[in-house]
Amino acid sequence: MKLGLFGYGTIGRGVFTLVNKLNKKYNCEIKKVFDLPFKKDELKELLVTDINEIINDDEIATVVEVLGGHDLPYEVISRCLAKGKNVITANKEVVSLHLQEFISLAHENDCSFCFEASAGGGIPIIRTLIDNLKVNEVNDIYGILNGTTNYILTKMADEDLSFEDALDLAKKNGFAEANPTADLEGLDIVRKINILSSLAFSGVINNDDIYHYGITGVNKNILNKIKELGYSLKYVASSYKNQDNDVLIRVEPTIVKANHPFSSIKYEFNAILYTGSTNDNLMFYGKGAGSIPTATAIVADLVSILENRAYIDFDVKNILSVNKNIKNPYTYYIFDENGNYEVKSNVSDEALQNAKFYARIL
Amino acid sequence: MKLGLFGYGTIGRGVFTLVNKLNKKYNCEIKKVFDLPFKKDELKELLVTDINEIINDDEIATVVEVLGGHDLPYEVISRCLAKGKNVITANKEVVSLHLQEFISLAHENDCSFCFEASAGGGIPIIRTLIDNLKVNEVNDIYGILNGTTNYILTKMADEDLSFEDALDLAKKNGFAEANPTADLEGLDIVRKINILSSLAFSGVINNDDIYHYGITGVNKNILNKIKELGYSLKYVASSYKNQDNDVLIRVEPTIVKANHPFSSIKYEFNAILYTGSTNDNLMFYGKGAGSIPTATAIVADLVSILENRAYIDFDVKNILSVNKNIKNPYTYYIFDENGNYEVKSNVSDEALQNAKFYARIL
């Protein structure tokens, strides 16, 4: 099978390496790589600088999209699916916004749309969840879905660093981007919990409907107080659906008790825990980002295509109402600058956001 | 598709219930159930008391074996596979002893052999591991694979119970059998780590070659000492293969540090952690036993058969040498009755077994 690769950055290089290792067993080969002209030295005759050279190449049956951003990936993915090419992507922004459209296009054109790497990075959660949903109804999902923020919170708690020092260290060690806003404010997590919830609850969810509150307000005093209480602080996405298809999805700092399996999820690791009708409390743990873990997830999708077992049963029959008809039932620690706190329930989002910092109790 | 069910005990009943729920979507139906004559009241005309009534029924394409024990399940599985029937089993004893034979039979007769429920219970580890092995080489595996012993150790540590009281409580709450020897001495875990290691390392492993040491020697003094040190005690199976196909598999009490993801695996929960060439540190967590989790794993296998995506690529090209050519590199806490301890490396199995109790450091 001939492949087209869109994007030759960190993840694209990882995919390139792993696909070349697969080569002998599966007889697949990257025929063209789309990127900017300066990659010519590395890619030689494989490089194309016009997306149409891949999209219109009928010999290319499967493409991998790891460009980043929205507009170009959206164009590439939708046009390739319309041409009947299988598409594999790691792009959580595009997947969270257009999952339903991509899956419809794949169905109409008898090809596969695979996005294992778009949530949970190297953790094989998408396929596992799809499989498990055949025999299990998911009640709720909890995720530590962002390596940058979990790394910062772990460093602060375990090595008594300030927020700023922990963030600098994350940048230095490659766990935070130069502009970390999407990570620190929860936008990255919003996209991932959207994808997981859309699958688990069979519906379309708008990123804009998902509540999120960042971790930038945390300081040493607050973390020390949480440690004194015997708890740990995690940045958790939670998602819950009731029988009326009302969904409550919140991304917010969360206090977990010592015996909760999230308490030992440290540094850049991610975890997804869900409870269901027949499988209560399944948790999956691993690296949520990074070149090789992400490339591994992409190549796992590729192997499923090569073995004719890629699939997605995505049912959008439910019209989900997100964060509209469900009252927030959770209890919160509301902190001041010095780590003093009040414990409150029935508190409005506005009141939460006016605090120096707050954390939900899980 | 018509199904045959061998065994109508706790798990068989769970399978029966879940299959009936699948019915509409997949058009599958349990045609005959083999069990003893006294189940007639419950099963009515579905009951058969002669295994041949299912084995020789050509309309039955798939059978589920949940009889327990060895001889009858072995006969049922091998004869059904030889007839080209798909077989699903939860029987870790039989799978650990005959995996290679069953897979060969399935290949020869163009049917599927599925055993998701045989290790890790409700955790979908077998399929995930098989999938992941397409893109990842496993270096080593660690497992908390027995709910009974994890329940006992958690109750002792968190509620200061004696071993005897914790065992009684486990029996009372349905987490321990009347004769718990296979659990307490590690035989149950030996079978599960055998199955996982056979898959991960592509080879045949004899249960008799796997080192195991039970947890019956632990007492409150020892557990309190481990807690004082800030650690927790788990009953861990570990498995490691080097480049020469020498494998080290040990089932032994193990001390885990507070930041290890195993430290928050409590009560009847199980977890499997493995590290590999491209996916380092993946962990899967859930209920390892129980009627509904186990039945869920069985029905997940059934759905994979109904959707034509059941498979097993099991390669036995490697002749593994288990616990023969690898020196034990681990460090141990060796305890006396009062919880006093020495820390030692390079210690013989004989010396370990002569201690009141010991635990490896992970």
End-to-end Cα separation, chain A, in angstroms: 47
Rounded to the nearest angstrom, the gap between the alpha carbon of residue A228 and the centroid of all alpha carbons in its chain is: 31
pLDDT of A360? 98
pLDDT of A280? 80
Same domain for B148 and B108, yes or no, is no
Q: Is residue A120 part of a domain?
A: no
Structure tokens at A297: 């997830």
Burial (CB count within 10 angstroms: exposed 0-12, middle 13-18, buried 19+), residue A304: buried
Same domain for A110 and A132, yes or no, is no
The interface residues of chain A toward chain B in range 174-213, judged by CB-CB distance below 8 A, are none
Quick: pLDDT tens for A187-211. Answer: 999 999 999 999 999 999 999 999 9
Q: Which of A158, A263, A292 sits opposite B278 (nearest CB)?
A: A292
- The CATH number given to whatever domain includes residue A15 is 3.40.50.720
pLDDT of B24? 74
Quick: pLDDT tens for B205-223. Answer: 999 999 999 999 999 999 9
| Complex-level ipTM beyond the 0.90 threshold | yes
Beta strands (DSSP E) in chain A are: 2-6, 29-34, 47-48, 60-65, 86-89, 113-114, 138-144, 211-212, 232-241, 246-256, 269-276, 282-287, 321-322, 331-335, 341-345, 357-361
Same domain for A259 and A282, yes or no, is yes
pLDDT of A312? 74
Q: Are A280 and B285 in contact (CB under 8 A)?
A: no
C-alpha A133/C-alpha A311 separation (Å) is 13
Q: Which of A135, A260, A273 sits opposite B299 (nearest CB)?
A: A135
Q: Is the pLDDT of residue B340 over 80?
A: yes
Number of domains composing chain A:
2
Q: Is residue A294 part of a domain?
A: no
C-alpha B194/C-alpha B200 separation (Å) is 10
Q: What is the pTM of this model?
A: 0.95
Record: contact A135-B264, CB cut-off 8 A: no
Record: contact B259-A266, CB cut-off 8 A: yes
Q: Are A144 and A270 in contact (CB under 8 A)?
A: yes
Q: Is the pLDDT of residue B98 over 70?
A: yes
pLDDT of A290? 84
Q: Is residue B30 part of a domain?
A: yes
Q: Which residues contact A81 (CB under 8 A, 6 or more apart)?
A: A87, A102, A105, A106, A109, A111, A113
Q: Is residue B220 part of a domain?
A: yes
pLDDT of B11? 94
CA distances from B67 to A357, B11, B124, B223, B252 (A): 56, 9, 21, 37, 29
Q: Is residue B310 part of a domain?
A: no
Record: contact B292-A278, CB cut-off 8 A: yes
Any CB–CB contact under 8 A between B304 and chain A? yes
Contacts of A158 in chain B (CB under 8 A): 259
Same domain for B52 and B154, yes or no, is no
C-alpha A23/C-alpha A18 separation (Å) is 9
Q: Is residue A307 part of a domain?
A: no
Same domain for A140 and A267, yes or no, is yes
Quick: pLDDT tens for A244-282. Answer: 999 999 999 999 998 899 999 999 999 999 999 988 899
- Boundaries of domain holding A14: 2-114
Q: Of A192, A234, A241, A287, which one is the catalytic site residue? A: A192
Q: Which residues contact A356 (CB under 8 A, 6 or more apart)?
A: A217, A222, A335, A336, A337
Same domain for A193 and A255, yes or no, is yes
Record: contact A286-B282, CB cut-off 8 A: yes
Q: Is the pLDDT of residue B359 over 80?
A: yes
Quick: pLDDT tens for A2-14. Answer: 999 999 999 999 9
Average pLDDT rounded to a whole number, residues B255-259: 93
pLDDT of B312? 74
Distance from CA of B296 to the nearest CA of A (A): 6
Q: Is the pLDDT of residue A319 over 90?
A: no
Same domain for A178 and A73, yes or no, is no
End-to-end Cα separation, chain B, in angstroms: 47
Any CB–CB contact under 8 A between B264 and chain A? yes
- The CATH number given to whatever domain includes residue B174 is 3.30.360.10
**How many CB atoms lie under 10 A from the CB of residue B133?**
18
Structure tokens at B124: 């979908």
Structure tokens at B174: 């349905």
Quick: pLDDT tens for A66-77. Answer: 999 999 999 999
Q: Is the pLDDT of residue A212 over 70?
A: yes
Question: Which position has the higher pLDDT, A308 or B225?
Answer: B225
Catalytic site residues of B?
192
Any CB–CB contact under 8 A between A280 and chain B? yes
B144, B277, B285: which to substitute to probe chain A, counting the most A Cβ within 10 Å?
Answer: B285
pLDDT of A23? 61
Same domain for B203 and B228, yes or no, is yes
Q: Is the pLDDT of residue B23 over 70?
A: no
Same domain for B36 and B105, yes or no, is yes
Q: Is residue B302 part of a domain?
A: no
Residue reference for tokens 């009252």: A327
Most confident of A177-181, A236-240, B312-316: A236-240
Alpha-carbon torsion (B347, B352, B358, B362), positive or negative: positive
C-alpha A252/C-alpha A234 separation (Å) is 9
Same domain for A19 and A81, yes or no, is yes
Average pLDDT rounded to a whole number, residues B67-87: 97
Same domain for B151 and B181, yes or no, is yes
Which of residues A89, A114, A139 is at a domain's end?
Answer: A114
Same domain for A214 and A263, yes or no, is yes
What are the DSSP calls for B62-85, one per residue?
EEEE---SSHHHHHHHHHHHHTT-
